[in-house]
């Protein structure tokens, strides 16, 4: 399973076996809160295979749509979100694994020669694989084998997965800028997050610690030492929201979490606890996000609809 820690948008992926940091997850964006996998990042590498329908990805400033049969790699520490591209069901098989599974010693010659090129290559910040070209077909073939292997879990599947991942990694290396890497005396991995994303992480930490107070755009901008206008531009470029939109979004999610925990608060108490000083406005914004009032949400949270109401848009079901 995965544990979202939204104070920094980091998703902590908890695999079934800590000694086997590989997981295959079944993801249906249209079955999640607000029908999308929320903005998040993690220290593992993610490779998604679109099994059914069409999925719209936003990775940093990139925006692209994938159809059934295509796949995409999202490297470590890259902020991204996913939603269904249309009203048809969208099913994604997501492979998430730690590079430590292949390169347990980060300072080893092996890691320097074979891990660092992928970590340092801008072309592998995110990369789309299409079955129409040979490279894409080969990647997807290995990916399907890894997914199948981890679904069946026959004897020795961990070793087989490691072998398949090694072959897959060699394919990636064939496309990486290895010549530049090996002709540079002292190479260090590039920061996966761009300056906008790093600023936004800090701003989000500030919002998480102060959302219940009357914070302003100026407060958010001051927390990351930039102007209000630049703060708005950073948020828009990195997560396609304004700071105010993110603050409202976060407050409503915290209210929904309180309801799901069964906290015995009246609607007005709930509104004030998450930073709203106007109950009518709180009800209006809550309905915009959830399609119901807080009172209706509380009733539904006690029924079979609980999974659908999860605020954790990136809670992935482990196969």
pLDDT digits (tens, 9 = 90+) for 158-174: 999 999 999 999 999 98
Under a CB-based contact definition with an 8 Å cutoff, are residues 9 and 42 in contact? no
Q: Would the pLDDT of 215 be above 90?
A: yes
Query: Largest Cα–Cα distance in the chain?
Result: 65
Q: Would the pLDDT of 269 be above 60?
A: yes
Question: Who's near 99: CB < 8 A, 6+ residues apart?
Answer: 44, 45, 76, 115, 119
Calculate mean pLDDT across residues 76-89.
Answer: 86
Question: Who's near 214: CB < 8 A, 6+ residues apart?
Answer: 275, 277
CB contact burial 15-46 (16+ within 10 A = b; e otherwise): beeeebbbbbbebbbbebbeebbbbbbbebbb
pLDDT higher at 254 or 69: 69
Calculate mean pLDDT across residues 135-163.
Answer: 96
pLDDT higher at 31 or 208: 208
Kindly indicate the confidence band of residue 184, based on its pLDDT and cuts at 50, 70 and 90: very low
Q: What is the pLDDT of residue 123?
A: 83
Kindly indicate the confidence band of residue 61, based on its pLDDT and cuts at 50, 70 and 90: confident
pTM over 0.75: no
Cα 31 from Cα 260, distance rounded (Å): 18
Kindly indicate the confidence band of residue 308, based on its pLDDT and cuts at 50, 70 and 90: very low
CA dihedral 200, 202, 206, 211 (to 10 degrees): 30
Under a CB-based contact definition with an 8 Å cutoff, are residues 319 and 5 in contact? no
Q: Would the pLDDT of 4 be above 50?
A: no
Calculate mean pLDDT across residues 75-93.
Answer: 88
Q: What is the pLDDT of residue 120?
A: 79
């Amino acid at each position: 399973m995965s544990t979202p820690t939204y104070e920094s948008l980091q998703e902590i992926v908890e695999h079934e076996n800590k000694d086997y940091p590989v997981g295959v997850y079944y993801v249906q964006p249209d079955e999640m809160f607000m029908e999308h996998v929320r903005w998040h990042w993690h220290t593992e590498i993610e490779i998604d295979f679109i099994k059914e329908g069409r999925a719209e990805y936003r990775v940093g400033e990139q925006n692209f749509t994938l159809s059934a049969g295509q796949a995409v790699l999202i490297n470590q520490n890259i902020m991204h979100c996913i939603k269904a591209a249309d009203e048809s069901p969208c099913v994604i098989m997501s492979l998430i694994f730690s590079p430590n599974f292949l390169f347990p010693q980060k300072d080893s010659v092996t890691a320097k020669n074979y891990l660092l090129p992928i970590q340092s290559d801008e072309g592998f910040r995110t990369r789309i694989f299409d079955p129409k070209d040979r490279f894409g077909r080969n990647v997807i073939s290995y990916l399907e084998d890894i997914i199948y292997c981890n679904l069946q879990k026959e004897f020795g599947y961990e070793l087989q997965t490691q072998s398949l991942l090694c072959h897959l990694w060699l394919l990636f290396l064939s496309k990486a800028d290895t010549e530049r890497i090996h002709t540079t005396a002292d190479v260090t991995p590039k920061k996966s997050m761009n300056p906008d994303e790093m600023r936004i992480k800090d701003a989000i930490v500030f919002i998480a610690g102060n959302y219940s107070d009357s914070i302003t755009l100026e407060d958010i901008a001051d927390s990351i030492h930039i102007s209000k206008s630049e703060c708005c531009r950073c948020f828009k470029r990195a997560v396609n929201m304004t700071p105010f939109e993110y603050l409202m979004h976060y407050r409503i999610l915290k209210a929904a979490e309180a309801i799901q925990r069964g906290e015995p608060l009246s609607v007005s108490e709930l509104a004030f606890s998450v930073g709203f000083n106007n109950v009518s406005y709180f009800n209006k914004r809550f309905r915009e996000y959830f399609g119901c009032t807080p009172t209706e949400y509380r009733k539904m949270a006690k029924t079979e609809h609980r999974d659908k109401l999860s605020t954790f848009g990136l809670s992935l079901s482990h196969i």
